[in-house]
Amino acid sequence: MASHQRRDENGGAAAEEEDGSTPGSIYGFESLHRLLEANLKPQIFQEVSRLLLGLNCGRHLERVSLPQAATSLSAEHDFDLQAFCFHADKELLRQPRIVRVGLIQNAIGLPTTAHFVDQKNAIRQKVEPMIDAAGASGVNILCLQEAWMMPFCFCTREKKWCEFAEPFDGESTQFLQEFARKYNMVIVNSILERDIHHGETIWNTAVVIGNHGNIIGIHRKNHIPRVGDFNESTYYMEGNTGHPVFETAYGKIAVNICYGRHHPLNWLAFGLNGAEIVFNPSATVGELSEPMWPIEARNAAIANSYFVGSINRVGTEIFPNPFTSGDGKPQHSDFGHFYGSSHFSAPDASCTPSLSRYRDGLMVSDMDLNLCRQLKDKWGFRMTARYELYAEMLAKYLKSDFTPQVIIDPML
């Protein structure tokens, strides 16, 4: 498989790694799946894929052919394009509920030193052909990455980046509303929100745009990281919107923004509210989280009997002023490599391969939402959950006089 040369943040060709491969690649390959496919015998690769990606209704996940209009856009604009199909078992009393869903990952388009207006325009120019490819592919619901209209500047603690904040119905929402109307598509728009009605407070927010271009509602990020360079609480605090599920023309969706994926109860709450698809728009780097990335969302899909779409940005974003984060590391000017690898997970433990670790990309998947109920019936997680037991435990834990239930060995 030929590797694709990444463009650096100045628009030029990125320097090669010492081994001659593209930065962000795995020895020249865009993903672990592609590395294995190129280096294993077909029968061995098939078995390895079964172990890594699972089976959907007892079968390997099927690839889907997309229209030439979409593949041509992928070739012209050099973005990774993959498509798959999750089946459900045939039922006698319900028709299939098939929805086509898309995820977009992208790098920034200009250096972080460029004028903010130019940075926004460059990102829109990168994302637009991928939205068009999604529209040409008949995608019903599309989700973009966390804070897609800006560099992920929250490592710097510099307040000038607050200029990227916008009202929930601001320029990025208006930009995407046109596509929602054009393609009859629900779009999840993850932004840095400025709440103009409450003291211009800033939030990390997802705006859910309906397929008629209407705004269905918003959700604000529930859990804010304070780890490594993720100094996000300098800019915004924990959200105040609970765990809303948005009933759209194509199904019930929710948005678990970035760091919320590390909190199992966050995933649970969206499931209790009836979500069938939960999106996890993110910005995360390899050194910190990559071993966790293929596990957490997949586990959430299994435990809560819904589909999960995981989206991560790509590339290395270099900021003009070096910074430190109180972790003993020397000052530096970048977060590290955002490793992309966007993918879908299903309630039956199957998942798609990942998009590229270094290229922009569009992941498309058909999913039969009947699979959600079928897995609830099969495993009975809701029936056996013992929520009252944990409600009692958590109620005790929240009290100041809580004492852990520890039985001490009398022989100690």
30 secondary structure, DSSP code:
S
Strands (E), 141-200: 141-144, 186-195
For residue 222, give Cα distances in angstroms to 46, 208, 260, 263.
Answer: 39, 16, 6, 10
372 secondary structure, DSSP code:
H
pLDDT digits (tens, 9 = 90+) for 215-266: 999 999 999 999 888 889 999 999 999 999 999 999 999 999 999 999 999 9
pLDDT of residue 286: 86
pLDDT digits (tens, 9 = 90+) for 179-207: 999 999 999 999 999 999 999 999 999 99
Is the pLDDT confidence value at 3 over 70? no
59 secondary structure, DSSP code:
B
399 secondary structure, DSSP code:
S
Predicted confidence band at 13 (pLDDT cuts at 50, 70, 90)? very low
pLDDT digits (tens, 9 = 90+) for 299-310: 999 999 999 999
For residue 399, give Cα distances in angstroms to 266, 385, 395.
Answer: 21, 23, 7
**Top CATH class, 56-389:** alpha beta
pLDDT of residue 23: 87
Is the pLDDT confidence value at 139 over 50? yes
Residue predicted with more confidence, 13 or 236: 236
> CA angle, 206 as apex, 263 and 387 as ends, to 5°?
35
Q: For residues 122 and 119, what is the distance between their CA atoms, to the nearest angstrom? A: 5
The ranges assigned to domains in the chain are 24-53, 56-389
CB 74 within 8 A of CB 362: yes
Q: Give the residue numbers annotated as catalytic, written as ranges.
A: 146, 221, 258
Element (H, E) at 285: none
